[in-house]
Structure 1
Amino acid sequence: MSYVKFGPAGRPVDYNGNANMACSYIRSIGLDAYEYQATYGVKISEKSAIELKMDSDESNVLVSMHAPYYVNLSSNKDDVVERSIQRLVQAASASEWMGAYRTVFHPGFYTTYTPEEAMERCKNSITIIQEELEAQGVNDYNLAPETTGKKSQLGSLDEIIEICSSFDYVEPTVDFAHVHARNNGCIKGKDDYSRIFTKLEDELGLKTLHSHFTSIEYTDKGERKHHTLMEEDYGPPLEPLMEIVAENGWNITMICETPLRDRDALVMKGVYDEVLGSNI
């Protein structure tokens, strides 16, 4: 039986407590997923991470972690790559402490490389990360490279699929807004979403997906700014995605990345419930 979970990217807007107790709050408002944000570095202690895991287990909230945004595994500077590797090792270690089922990260930028060269550099970095995690005894992890929103970034849907097909314990994070933005507003309706799911299933054999969603503003260079779901001038469209999700039988976690992350996650869940109800 398929399941669909909804939750915020980071601390809920109206929550003032500790991050390690956020899951019980998230459950209390009707959501069941939480992406812990290590945006500026992995600063959570092992003790706090274990407390977060206990809270998530008691609340039945699925936890993921977003690794630091400074990660760039394809940089043309060796010291940047080395620091990025260590940040991801730290993130995966903390993910194990908190029971996070995915460690999400942005693969990097093309910089002075061709896309093929940047890809090779990124893959070499992931190999080193996995070797280091094994050496440290970190076994319960799943690295989740994310589709990126800027055309200067490594992370098209095809590139993410290539990365994931090259390693064990590496599965995709599909940010639908990023796919939309880096491809000049390519998602117009249900068929466009269907093509994404079909590609993932055909090329990776998936029926489980970690995903992000927001309304997004973009330019000819790609992603510019996240917007709330109420701002109707921005895409991609939400309802066609919920229709596909209700029909395709996948297990999907949908993390809301709008400025109103938990409030809009509830909006997303409400649209999904309406679509699901109409299909019964």
Structure 2
Amino acid sequence: MKKRIKFGPAGNPIGFKGQTVNVCDYIRDIGLEAYEYQATYGVKIQKQSGLKLGENARSNNVRISMHGPYYINLAAQKDDVLERSIERLVQSAQAAEWIGAYRIVFHPGFYTKYTPLEALNRCKGAITELLEKLDTMGIKKFTFAPETTGKRSQLGNLDAIIDICQSFDHFSPTIDFAHLHARGRGCIKGADDYHRILTRLEEGLDGIGKGKEALHCHFTRIEYTDAGERKHHVMMEEEYGPPLEPLLQELVDCGWDATIICETPLLEQDALVMKDVYKKVLNG
């Protein structure tokens, strides 16, 4: 039996007007199966609300993830910036435990004055400190999911994300296909390009037992410049890539257990568009 792909919005759906703790009722009712809670401007959720949101997700069989704060740079030059970044990830892990998030998405950082290898090594040092702090605090139910990034100045190409996830327990990738497309200046044209990405990912993770476990993905149409990501676009704007159908075909054919979070401006509306394309792929 082929594994089924789950779809959901990045943040509260446009059509949802209630309290966030009940958002998964709405998500299930419209036919979606995933939800990414947004803590992009700081982890503000309190324990009681987090526990309620987690229960709401479980009762609706909605797979929940969490996007950590944007203000994270694990390759920062300044030690105080590094410390604040680590603290934000500690806060994220605590909140993720409350809500039962299966992934904590975050952007690893920027190269700044460092070479890509130097930035990666500085990031790894910060992660080591992060995991030591979480162990001391007794926080154990978390999986960090560093995301492939869309700007060429950012730490987070595919190989760097694989390297990080190979290096640490409690780490699994977030593959943002739009970011890879923008970072590569329009590099994803069709099935062969997706096959190359997914093969590289599987080969990189198989050796540590993370091969085809639940793959967390982001998708949107994207506009880019020579520097990378510029702007997200809606699914109907097909002049912007990357293409969706060949991605879904590759995920189905290769047996990936995937969750795809929609990051277009239309959120749940485009998540449903993605799901419709998926149904067509399944039906041949």
Give TM-score scaled by structure 1 length.
0.98
Offset from partner CA, 1:64-111 (integer Å, 9 cap, x none): 000000111101111111100000010011001000000000000001
Q: Distance in 2 between the 1:257 and 1:45 partners?
A: 25
1:200: how far off?
A: 1.0
**Secondary structure at the counterpart of residue 113 of structure 1:** coil
Match of 1:234 among 240, 244, 248: 240
**Secondary structure at the counterpart of residue 131 of structure 1:** helix
Instruction: Tell me the equivalent position of 1:70.
Output: 71
Alignment of 1:90-239 (within 5 A): 90-205=91-206, 206-208=211-213, 209-239=215-245
Instruction: Tell me the equivalent position of 1:254.
Output: 260
1:242: how far off?
A: 1.4
Q: Distance in 2 between the 1:75 and 1:20 partners?
A: 34
Structure 2: stretches of 5+ with no match in the other structure: none
Match of 1:244 among 241, 250, 253: 250
**Secondary structure at the counterpart of residue 266 of structure 1:** helix
Instruction: Tell me the equivalent position of 2:269.
Output: 263
Whether contact under 8 Å (1:246, 1:272) holds in the other structure is no
Give TM-score scaled by structure 2 length.
0.97
Instruction: Tell me the equivalent position of 1:21.
Output: 22
What is the RMSD of the two structures over their aligned residues, measured on CA atoms? 0.7
Offset from partner CA, 1:183-214 (integer Å, 9 cap, x none): 11000000100111111111111113100000
Offset from partner CA, 1:149-178 (integer Å, 9 cap, x none): 000000000110011110011010000000
Q: Distance in 2 between the 1:163 and 1:36 partners?
A: 23
Number of matched pairs: 278
**Secondary structure at the counterpart of residue 226 of structure 1:** strand
Instruction: Tell me the equivalent position of 2:35.
Output: 34
Amino acid at match of 1:269: K
Q: Distance in 1 between the 2:15 and 2:106 partners?
A: 26
Q: Distance in 2 between the 1:219 and 1:255 partners?
A: 23
1:3: how far off?
A: 2.3
Amino acid at match of 2:105: V
Instruction: Tell me the equivalent position of 2:10.
Output: 9
Q: Distance in 1 between the 2:238 and 2:259 partners?
A: 24
Q: Distance in 1 between the 2:117 and 2:251 partners?
A: 33
Moved over 3 A (4+): none
Q: Distance in 2 between the 1:69 and 1:125 partners?
A: 16
Amino acid at match of 2:253: E
Amino acid at match of 1:222: G
Structure 1: stretches of 5+ with no match in the other structure: none
Q: Distance in 2 between the 1:41 and 1:83 partners?
A: 12
Q: Distance in 1 between the 2:221 and 2:60 partners?
A: 28
Amino acid at match of 1:173: T
Instruction: Tell me the equivalent position of 1:273.
Output: 279
Amino acid at match of 1:167: F
Offset from partner CA, 1:2-33 (integer Å, 9 cap, x none): 12100000010111111111111100000000
Q: Distance in 1 between the 2:23 and 2:91 partners?
A: 21
Q: Distance in 1 between the 2:136 and 2:279 partners?
A: 45
Q: Distance in 2 between the 1:116 and 1:198 partners?
A: 23
**Secondary structure at the counterpart of residue 88 of structure 1:** helix
1:135: how far off?
A: 0.8
Offset from partner CA, 1:24-77 (integer Å, 9 cap, x none): 110000000000000100000000000001100110000000000011110111
Identity across the alignment (%): 62
